[in-house]
Structure 1
Amino acid sequence: MDSRHGQGQGHDGGDSAQSTADLTAFVQNLLQQMQSRFQTMSDSIISKIDEMGSRIDDLEKSIGELVKEAGVDSPPSPPTSSQGQLPPK
């Protein structure tokens, strides 16, 4: 048992340091790839949100124009009768 335990302590010191350096480089590369992909996805999401905002603005303008064409000055007010209201608690 003692012979196996002592294997990692002798001449393998340089191999262990190289293995640690390789692992560190691999992890750094992996983290850089993840960061790059995250940034790409983030940029894409922000672009789509901006596009949706623009489309909503266009839709609001179109609705406003339709309301003007229909001759309606303001949106309908909520019903004042008890039919459209919730009963008191």
Structure 2
Amino acid sequence: MDGHDADNTKQSTADMTVFVQNLLQQMQTRFQTMSESIISKIDDMGNRIDELEQSINDLRIEMGQEGSSSPSATVKSKDDTKSADDSA
């Protein structure tokens, strides 16, 4: 009977090893898929930000405010100062 129990233990250990290896492989695959999805979304967000910046610059040029000091720039400076104070 001792030999039979040893065989069962070896088989159980082998089964557990295979199970853990499969589980780790599944986790790695899911992590890779999620990583690729996140990177894709970050790239898309970056492209949208670039497009938004270009649209804002185009609007500023159309309004003739390119390079000049505008009231909105002053307000932005105050908001930036306020944000810096809030984080301190």
User: Structure 1: any 5+ residue segments left out of the alignment?
Assistant: 1-6, 80-84
Residue 78 of structure 1, CA deviation: 3.6
AA aligned opposite 1:22: D
- TM-score normalised by structure 2 residue count: 0.75
SS of alignment partner, residue 12 of structure 1: helix
Q: Which has the larger radius of gyration?
A: 1
Aligned to 1:68: 61
More helix by share: 2
Residue 30 of structure 1, CA deviation: 0.2
Q: Tell me, in whole angstroms, the C-alpha distance in 2 between the residues paired with 1:66 and 1:19.
A: 70
- TM-score normalised by structure 1 residue count: 0.74
User: When the two structures are aligned, how many residues end up with a matched partner?
Assistant: 73
Percent identity between matched residues is: 59
Q: Tell me, in whole angstroms, the C-alpha distance in 2 between the residues paired with 1:60 and 1:78.
A: 19
- CA offsets 1:32-77 (integer angstroms, 9 cap, x no match): 0000000000000000000000000000000000000000022535
SS of alignment partner, residue 44 of structure 1: helix
CA RMSD of aligned residues (A): 2.1
More contact order relative to length (CA 8 Å, sep ≥ 6): 2
1:46 aligns with 2:39: yes
Q: Tell me, in whole angstroms, the C-alpha distance in 1 between the residues paired with 2:39 and 2:46.
A: 11
Aligned to 2:8: 15
